[in-house]
């Protein structure tokens, strides 16, 4: 078998990096922007590490030109960013604020001027607070508000942005936001989390239709799912059944209706103690099941589960933060085990085989649909040396292993068109505040100075050559 690390990637393969609006932009009160649920959540005592918030974040709103120049210097060919809904449509209703759209127009123009392909995500968790006050994602109307917002952005940027993503990781929005409460808006209601999941699905379908009506036909529309790689602790019937339950809650709840036009029947059966799913109205699945042009996959670490006796809900080793409430509705008799191996600063096991397995799963489930790895990366305790350099050999090894898994999947027939490193630079890591550094570029949070780490130079060389450099250095 050939050494896949020496084989070139396809010539058109996109080498990108990803960010999200709330994590990097700052300027939360400029240009008519109003609070999102993450502004409210991060300013609520006890919700984030150290009381951190993203009022300034890394000030990308004012420094975007320098950041785009840095991407170009590194050799990136694509950049995945998200639009802040409350910056464009502050109340989540009504007309757009043009100064908000103008920021994204300038950003896109700057990217294109540097030969970097923009990839736009409409929603990366920053619901306008006024919509949450009206009920948030558990309310059906939120899906229709999202479609209106999608049309606004599509009409404004569809002539210059070809790659579009409706939602980023709707699982986190539904189950961490409304189930375990570790993400905004911090609610803890299992039934509400499942209603939110359905309305996020509906929002995706309605937004896809709105984008198709408002943009050039050649534009690509996708969704980015953090589909879990769920593995059983043993091949016992009980552990296999537990694995199926978690797979339904992590994956089937979204890719079922989006890709296949139906929810898994086993999901309905497993969650009947929590909800009767009566909010799924006639015609909803047709609205959700819109043809896609691509599928984004976000991957960090696999899950290992086993069946146990039902226990009182409490902290669990699922990698999704500590809470007395579970993000897994009606699954208190499933335990998450620590998988063996080296770990990142998030405590997540490093396992590139999970990325390979995930890609090949969707290559089978959605044949003919181009795939993108829209997030993959690792947090480490990066620090500058006395000369101001930031060496991160662990991240280089992580990237080498996971990009090798991507190359293996391509060799085995998967149509993977690009890879977006999470993240371009250190930023506000949600409830973890500024304590976890995922960036390929180091940010000094006191001065906001940017310093490319060794991994950024290594990744840039991969982007320029289309092959993987040695993992021994940049």
Q: How many C-beta atoms lie closer than 10 Å to residue 441's C-beta?
A: 23
Q: Report helix, strand or coil for 47.
A: coil
Phi, then psi, of 357 in degrees rounded to 5: -60, -40
Q: What is the token pair recorded at 124?
A: 């990366």
Residues linked to residue 343 through DSSP beta bridges, in sequence order:
349
Q: Report helix, strand or coil for 425.
A: strand
Q: For a pLDDT cut of 90, what percent of the chain falls above it?
A: 95
Q: What is the token pair recorded at 22?
A: 């709330």
pLDDT of residue 311: 67
pLDDT of residue 236: 98
For 261-316, give the DSSP string: SS--HHHHHHTTTT---TT--TTHHHHH----S-EEEE-S--EEEEE---------
With 90 as the cut, is the pLDDT of residue 77 above it?
Answer: yes
Nearest CA among 389, 393, 416 for reference residue 405: 416
Max Cα-Cα span within the chain: 64
d(CA 247, CA 113): 43
Q: How many C-beta atoms lie closer than 10 Å to residue 259's C-beta?
A: 19
**To the nearest 5 percent, what fractions of the chain are helix, strand and coil?**
40, 15, 45
> Residue range 415-423: average pLDDT?
98
pLDDT of residue 11: 97
Nearest CA among 258, 250, 259, 299 for reference residue 18: 299
Per-residue CA distances from 264 to 21, 137, 247, 257, 359 (Å): 33, 21, 10, 9, 21
Q: Which H or E run includes 81? A: strand 78-82
> Residue range 199-226: average pLDDT?
98
Active site residues: 169, 375
With 60 as the cut, is the pLDDT of residue 315 above it?
Answer: no
Rounded to the nearest integer, the mean pLDDT of the chain is 96
pLDDT digits (tens, 9 = 90+) for 185-206: 999 999 999 999 999 999 999 9
Q: What is the token pair recorded at 392?
A: 């991160």
pLDDT of residue 474: 44
> Residue range 265-292: average pLDDT?
98
pLDDT of residue 32: 95
d(CA 233, CA 259): 28
> Where does the pLDDT of residue 469 fall: very low under 50, low under 70, confident under 90, or very high at 90 and above?
very high
Q: Report helix, strand or coil for 38.
A: helix
Contact call for residues 252 and 170 (beta carbons, < 8 A): no
| b/e burial code for range 276-294 (CB count within 10 A of at least 16 → b) | eeebbeeebbebbbbebbb
Residues linked to residue 372 through DSSP beta bridges, in sequence order:
296, 418
Q: Report helix, strand or coil for 99.
A: helix
Q: What is the token pair recorded at 420?
A: 């977006």
d(CA 311, CA 281): 34
With 70 as the cut, is the pLDDT of residue 314 above it?
Answer: no
Asked if omega into 173 is within 30° of 0 (cis), the reply is no
Contact call for residues 8 and 467 (beta carbons, < 8 A): yes
d(CA 102, CA 110): 12
With 80 as the cut, is the pLDDT of residue 318 above it?
Answer: yes
The Cβ-side half-sphere exposure at 336, using a 13 Å CA radius, reads 26
> Residue range 272-297: average pLDDT?
98
**Is the model more confident about 317 or about 322?**
322
pLDDT of residue 1: 54
Nearest CA among 290, 372, 452, 384 for reference residue 80: 372
Q: What is the token pair recorded at 363?
A: 């290559």
With 80 as the cut, is the pLDDT of residue 224 above it?
Answer: yes
pLDDT digits (tens, 9 = 90+) for 4-44: 667 899 999 999 999 999 999 999 999 999 999 999 999 99
pLDDT of residue 2: 63
d(CA 153, CA 400): 36
d(CA 241, CA 306): 9
> Where does the pLDDT of residue 171 fall: very low under 50, low under 70, confident under 90, or very high at 90 and above?
very high
């Amino acid at each position: 078998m050939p050494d896949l690390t020496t084989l070139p990637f396809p010539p058109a393969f996109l080498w990108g990096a990803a960010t999200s609006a709330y994590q990097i932009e700052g300027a939360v009160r400029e240009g008519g922007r109003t609070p999102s649920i993450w502004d409210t959540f991060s300013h609520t005592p006890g919700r984030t590490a150290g009381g951190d918030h993203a009022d300034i974040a890394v000030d990308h709103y004012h420094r975007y030109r320098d950041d785009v120049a840095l991407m170009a210097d590194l050799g990136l060919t694509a950049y995945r960013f998200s639009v802040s809904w409350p910056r464009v449509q502050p109340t989540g209703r009504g007309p757009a604020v043009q100064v908000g759209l103008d920021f994204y127009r300038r950003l896109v123009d700057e990217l294109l001027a540097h030969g970097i392909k923009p990839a736009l995500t409409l929603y990366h968790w920053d619901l306008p607070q006024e919509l949450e006050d009206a009920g948030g994602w558990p309310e059906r109307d939120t899906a229709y508000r999202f479609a209106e917002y999608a049309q606004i952005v599509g009409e404004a940027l569809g002539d210059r942005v070809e790659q579009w993503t409706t939602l980023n990781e709707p699982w986190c929005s539904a189950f961490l936001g409304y189930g375990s409460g570790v993400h905004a808006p911090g609610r803890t209601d299992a039934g509400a989390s499942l209603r939110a999941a359905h309305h996020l699905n509906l929002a995706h379908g309605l937004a896809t239709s709105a984008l198709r009506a408002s943009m050039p036909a050649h534009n690509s529309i996708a969704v980015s799912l953090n589909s879990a790689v769920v593995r059983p602790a043993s091949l016992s019937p009980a552990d296999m059944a537990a694995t199926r339950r978690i797979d339904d809650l992590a994956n089937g709840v979204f890719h079922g209706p989006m890709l296949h036009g139906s929810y898994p029947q086993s999901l309905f059966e497993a969650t009947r103690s929590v909800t009767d799913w009566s909010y799924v109205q006639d015609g909803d699945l047709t609205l959700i099941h819109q043809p896609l042009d691509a599928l984004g996959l976000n991957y960090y670490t696999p899950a290992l589960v086993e069946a146990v006796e039902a226990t009182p809900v409490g902290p669990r080793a699922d990698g999704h933060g500590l809470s007395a409430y579970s993000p897994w509705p009606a699954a208190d008799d499933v335990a998450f085990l620590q998988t063996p191996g080296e770990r990142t600063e998030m405590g997540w096991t490093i396992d590139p085989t999970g990325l390979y397995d995930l890609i090949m799963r969707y290559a089978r489930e959605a044949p003919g649909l181009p795939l993108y790895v829209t997030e993959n990366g690792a947090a480490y305790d990066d620090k500058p040396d006395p000369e101001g350099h930031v060496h991160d050999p662990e991240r280089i090894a992580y990237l080498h292993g996971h990009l090798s898994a991507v190359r293996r999947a391509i060799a085995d027939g998967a149509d993977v068109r690009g890879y977006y490193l999470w993240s371009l630079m250190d930023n506000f890591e949600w409830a973890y505040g500024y304590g976890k550094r995922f960036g390929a570029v180091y940010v000094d949070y006191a001065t906001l100075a940017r310093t490319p780490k060794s991994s950024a130079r290594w990744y840039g060389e991969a982007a320029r050559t289309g092959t993987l450099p040695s993992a021994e250095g940049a």
